[in-house]
Amino acid sequence: MMMGKKVRLVHLEKEDLAKSQGWVNDPAIKALMLRVLPVTRMDQEKWLEDIARNPAKMVFAIKLLGTGEHIGNTGFYQIDWLHRRAEFWILIGERGSWGQGVGTEVVRLMLRFGFGDLNLHKIYLHVGSTNEPAISLYKKLNFAVDGRLREHYFLEGNYLDVLAMSILKKDYAG
């Protein structure tokens, strides 16, 4: 478990899946996550099973301190233990938590966990080029833009560019 001033990150459990499914099927959130297809309960259960047996994935539920409300998920995929890198992702599903500094705290907790506990050298991500709040947050925390994947996703009838961003351990401010 990781603890911040606003949230704690705990391993995702089966009881967290219903909320997660609702978030990833919300049209506005789905677009920010670069998702196209709907997610079923069975999809969610298979996802949780894959996380449990795949050492290249770590997923955490984001819970508010005090209330324990599940407001999102975050994690690392594609953990490469040889090259010491991982793909980061975050989803704040509860809209009431948007713009409250929760995302910043979660990213900081995950960077500390990734560079400290996991001894990663590089943490990278993909973000839609129109997701300005996320891009601004990542830049504020020293992520660099590595490149632009032109027309990489086809969402809602349009092609969307995606930014590849990363942070190296030496650039991590701690």
- Contact criterion met (CB below 8 Å) for 73 and 59: yes
Return the CATH number at 121: 3.40.630.30
Please identify which of the residues 124, 138, 153, 172 carries the catalytic annotation: 138
Residue 153 annotated in active site? no
Q: How many domains does the chain divide into?
A: 1
Domain extent for 85? 2-171
pLDDT number for residue 155: 83
63: left (phi over 0), alpha (psi -120 to 50) or beta: beta
Average pLDDT of span 49-55: 94
pLDDT per residue over 67-126, tens digit each? Answer: 999 999 999 999 999 999 999 999 999 998 989 999 999 999 999 999 999 999 999 999
pLDDT per residue over 35-47, tens digit each? Answer: 777 889 999 999 9
Answer whether 0.85 is exceeded by the pTM: yes
pLDDT per residue over 110-163, tens digit each? Answer: 999 999 999 999 999 999 999 999 999 999 999 999 999 999 989 888 999 999
Rounded-to-integer distance, Cα 76 and Cα 69, Å: 22
